[in-house]
Each structure stands twice: as C-alpha cells, then as structure tokens.
Copies of this chain bind each other. A is one copy, B any other.
Amino acid sequence: MQVQIIEVGPRDGLQNEKRNIPLETKINFIRNLVKSGIQEIELSSFVSPKWVPQLSDADELINTLYNELKEKDIKFHALLPNRKGLDRALKCNLNRIALFTTTSDEFSKKNMNTTVDETIQEFKEIIPEFRKNVPQGWVRVYLSTSFECPYAGKIDPTKTLEISKRLFDLGIDDLVISDTLGVAVPDEVSRLLEIILTTMVSKQISCHFHDTYGMAIANVARAIKLGITRFDSSAGGLGGCPYAPGASGNLATEDLIYYIHRCGHKNPASLKQVATSSKEILDFLGKPIVCKAQSAYLNSCNTKAA
C-alpha cells in the first residue's frame, strides 16, 4: 500500500525559529528533501512578515523552487492564514493551498483573533476565488485541536465531525485531522476517525500528529488500520506549536519513513537521506537530534565507520 508523507518541516518546523535562516539555507534544505524522495511539501506560509518574520521570504522561496523543480512531479503547498495570503499565492502560481481552522473558539481567538465561524466565512470567499483562478487547484484545511484544546479541554468527536462536515461542504480536497497538542492515544484516534469516515472517504483525510508524549507513531499505526494513507511529518521532528503550552515536536519524518518501510508499505523517501538532510539544518540551528530513527540511523553509521 502506498502511504503518502506530507513534509511540513520547511513551514511548521521553521516558523518559530528565532534565528534568521537565510533563504538559500531553506532552499537547500527543501532541495535535499526532494532529492531524498519526499513528494509533497508545505513550503512556507503567506503570513504577514510582522507575525512570522522567519517566513517573510515565502514568495521568493516558492518562485525559486517552482522554477527549478517544475519538471519533477512534486506537490508543493503553502499555508494561507487569511484572505490577504491568497493574492500572494496566486502571484506565485501556487496550485495547492492550505488553510487553517480549529474546533475551538478559544484557540481560534488566541491564535488568529477570530472565531471558528469567522474563519469558515473567510474560507467561503477564499476557496471559490482560488478555484476560479486555479481550476486545477487543490485545497487542504488543517483542523487544529481535533482532539483537545489547551483552553477548552477535550473536544467531543461529534463537534470535530460537525466542523469537518462544514469544511467538506466548502468543497475542500483534504481535511487534516490535527492533534495540535500531541496528546491523543490510538483509541481516541479510532473513535474520531470512525465517526468522520461515516461521512467522508479516507482519501480525503490526512492526519497531523504531534509527538509531544511519544504517541505519534502509535496513532499513525491506528489511523492506517482505518484506511488513512496520508500523514504530515517534519524532518528531524522540527517544530511544534508556540500557542499550545507544553506542545513540542511534530512527528519526525524519519520515524514515519521507518514505520512505513518496515510495515512493507510504499513510499519512495529514503530514511538515510532525510536523516542527513535534517541533521544539516539542525546543525545550522544549533539543535540536538530528538528524532529516534534519525539518531539510530546516524549512530549505526558511526558504528559501521568505527
């Protein structure tokens, strides 16, 4: 079975880094990920540079990589935090956009200063305008705090289902069930997915798990059992969520690749090459390795070399 990896390191992984990362370093990181066999990448976010100065080079980064890699069959997306981002996306000829909402008004207000209803109203403007300009375009929506919110607590799966349905009614292509805090365990994953899969098909759903408590691969394993085949991850486990106290660490791409390959599922990404690529960016950022499979791979190289 083919299992798709959606690499979110360049955006979700780097957005909160305080140290300025030169455009060329980011582009090299993404080039290396593409060389490593990664087929789908969230490149950046069209967020205001005031809010996330780290990603203020989104337009230039996307233009450069589009021109360079247009021959390859890579799916590139970028996050649009609001309507303003759409003009920038259209100027870049970006044909895949990602939007963002949540199950919780509290989280939405603290994060984006809007309610959930207001974000959905905005999607009703953004999505048709994007479709009109890019008829072959593709829209994914992150549903943040799908399981639990740091302010509202555990989210009833029927509430997550209700918002999911409203999003699907907007004609989106990919709903991203997101465990923003990284708190869910497999039984919660099945409870939620089972009710969502009563109204949507598994190909319309991705899962975005954080590894805050080390549960991410267990949750991937459960979601795959239920037919989900698209998973977000971040090279080297870069990133986290600054608005969610205690939340740290996306599922690492290396752990996901290990899992996919060891299960006999198919994905062309090379664990070796991704581990090496993310080591390079971690070294640049002065950060330690936190991803288990990356550490194991690099240690076993050392052992063989010794």
By a beta-carbon cutoff of 8 Å, the part of chain A in contact with chain B is 182-187, 211-218, 220-222, 245-249, 252, 255, 258-259, 262-263, 288, 290-293, 295-297, 299-300, 303-304
A259 to B255, CA, bound (A): 18
Given contacts A213-B258, A213-B293, A258-B213, contact A186 B221 (CB under 8 A): yes
Copies of this protein chain in the complex: 2
A215 contacts B185, C-beta separation under 8 Å: no
> Which one of B213, B246, B303 contacts A303 once the chains associate, using CB atoms below 8 Å?
B246
> Which one of B182, B221, B288, B299 contacts A222 once the chains associate, using CB atoms below 8 Å?
B221
- Seed contacts A213-B296, A214-B214; 20 additional CB < 8 Å A-B pairs: A183-B262, A184-B262, A185-B221, A185-B259, A185-B262, A211-B214, A212-B296, A213-B255, A213-B258, A214-B217, A214-B252, A214-B291, A215-B217, A215-B258, A218-B259, A221-B221, A221-B222, A246-B296, A247-B296, A290-B290
B295 contacts A187, C-beta separation under 8 Å: no
A297 to B246, CA, bound (A): 7
Task: Report which residue of A213, A245, A249, A300 has the largest number of chain B beta carbons within 10 angstroms of its beta carbon.
Answer: A213
